Amino acid sequence: MKASTSLVCLILGILLMALSGLEKILIYTNFNVQVDVLAMKNITPTYIWYIPNVTFIGGLLLTAIGISLTFSIYNKTKSTRESE
C-alpha cells in the first residue's frame, strides 16, 4: 500500500467529520425561531438526524483506517531499514 492511500483516507475522514458538523449546524439553523435542542429533535424527523451521525461514523472509520495504514507503512519501512 502506498503512503498516498493512507493520506487520502486520513484527509477524507477528517473532511467527513467536519461535514457532519456542518450538517448539524444547518439543521439547527433551519428553524426561524429559537427552540431548545430537545424540542428541535422532536420536530425534526429521525432519518434527518441519522444523516450527520452516519457521516461522522464514516469519517471516524476512514480516519482510523488512514492512521492504521500510516503506522503499518511506517513499521514496514522501519523494519526494512533495520534489516539492511
Write out the H or E segment, with its range, that includes residue 84. Answer: none
- Maximum C-alpha span of the chain: 68
Number of helices (H) and strands (E) in the chain: give both, helices first. Answer: 3, 0
Please report the pLDDT score of residue 53 as a whole number.
Answer: 94
Per-residue pLDDT tens for 31-45? 777 778 788 888 888
Please report the pLDDT score of residue 1 as a whole number.
Answer: 61
Q: 3-class DSSP state for residue 36?
A: coil
Q: 3-class DSSP state for residue 25?
A: helix
Q: Distance (Å, rounded) from C-alpha 74 to C-alpha 79? A: 9
Listed as ranges, residues in the chain with pLDDT below 70 are 1, 81-84
Q: Please tell me whether the overall predicted TM-score, pTM, comes out greater than 0.85 for this model.
A: no
Please report the pLDDT score of residue 75 as a whole number.
Answer: 80
CB distance 56 to 16 below 8 Å: yes
